[in-house]
Amino acid sequence: MNPILQVQGVTKDFGGLRANNNITFSVKKGELLGLIGPNGAGKSTLFNCIAGVYPVTSGRIYFDGREITNLKPYQVSRLGLARTFQIFVASGDLTVLENIMVGSFLRTRSRRKAQSEAGEILEFMELKAYSDQWVSELPVAGQKRVAMATALATKPKMLLLDEVAAGLNPTEIEQMMSLIRLIHYDKGVTVMLIEHVMELVMNLSHRVIVLDSGNIIAEGLPEEIKKNPEVIKAYLGARYVERQQEGG
C-alpha cells in the first residue's frame, strides 16, 4: 500500500539547536503509528514541521502524493492532515459546539451545515451533553475530546495526536484508547500519535518510532521496541521492562 505520509531527510534547527536531524520515515494509509521518546527528543517539533506550524530547515514532506513542505497550517489542513496539541487552548467566548464548528468551517461557509456536522461529531465523541458549556469548564479529559472533535470536524484523512492521554486517570486512558480505535476504524482515519503512556502506545500502535535527541534510534513492531536495548536505555527504563515481564 502506498504511504499517505512521507518524511524525507527532515532537519529542523532553532539557531544552534538541532531539534530534528535528518528524519526519514513513512506512514501507510490506514496505519496507526506511535511516536515515543524522552522529553525534548523532538517529537512535537516534528509534528509541527509536518503540520506546517514550523518551516523545515531542510528535507521534504509529502502527504497523499503531494509535497507539503513548508505549506501553511491551513493549507495542510485543507489537504486532509489535522493535528491536536499537547495543551488545548479553546476560545473563551465559544461553547463546546461552537469550538467544533470552527473545524467544520474549514470546508463550508454555511453556519447551518457546520452546526449540523459539529452536532454529529459531538455524538460520536460522546460530548453532546456538554454542547452548550464553555470548554474551560470541562475536566481535562473533556477538553482533550473537544480538541480531537475540532480536528475531526475538518474531515481529515490523517490525524496527528499529541499526548491526548496526558493527565488522564486509568479509566479515562481506557476510554481514550477506545475512542482512538473508533476514529481509526470507524472513521477510517490514519493516525500518528505522540504519547508517554506506554500502555496506550503499545496496545494501539501497529508500529512504533523512537526519537532521542532529534534522531530516530529505533523503528519496529511494539514487541520489538519493548525489547530494544537502545530504547530501554534511552527511554523505557529497566522498571518498565520488569513490569512487562511480570505482566503488570
What's the confidence (pLDDT) of residue 246? 55
The dihedral formed by the CA atoms of 40, 41, 44 and 50, expressed in degrees to the nearest 10: 150
Just give the CATH number of 1-80+158-164+190-248.
3.40.50.300
127, 103, 129: which is closest to 117 by C-alpha? 103
pLDDT digits (tens, 9 = 90+) for 134-161: 988 888 899 999 999 999 999 999 999 9
pLDDT of residue 239: 57
Mean pLDDT of 176-191: 94
Q: How confident is the model at residue 247 (pLDDT cuts 50, 70, 90)?
A: low
Confidence (pLDDT) at 2: 82
pLDDT exceeds 80 at position 164? yes
Which has the closest alpha carbon to 137: 103, 167, 92, 85?
92
Question: In the chain, where do the E strands start and end?
Answer: 3-14, 17-28, 32-36, 58-63, 66-67, 81-83, 158-162, 190-194, 207-212, 215-220
In this predicted structure, which of 11-20, 22-31, 139-148, 239-248 has the lowest mean pLDDT? Answer: 239-248
pLDDT at 236 over 80: no
Cell, residue 246: 511480570
Mean per-residue pLDDT over the chain, rounded? 91
Per-residue b or e along 199-234, where b marks 16 or more CB atoms closer than 10 Å to that residue's CB:
ebbbebbebbbbbbebebbbeeebeebbebeebbeb
Q: What is the pTM of this model?
A: 0.90
Would you kindly state where each structural domain of the chain is located, as residue ranges? Answer: 1-80+158-164+190-248
Q: Mean pLDDT across the stretch 55-62?
A: 98
- Given a cut of 70, is residue 57 above it in pLDDT? yes
Q: Tell me what percent of the residues of the chain surpass a pLDDT of 90.
A: 81
> DSSP character for 157?
S
Work out the widest C-alpha separation in the chain, in whole angstroms.
55
1 against 225, higher pLDDT: 225
* Separation CA 13–CA 8 (nearest Å): 16
pLDDT tens-digit map of 59-107: 999 999 999 999 999 999 999 999 998 766 655 678 999 999 999 999 9
| Distance from C-alpha of 42 to C-alpha of 61, rounded to nearest angstrom | 16
Q: pLDDT for 111-141, tens place per residue?
A: 999 999 999 999 999 999 999 999 888 888 9
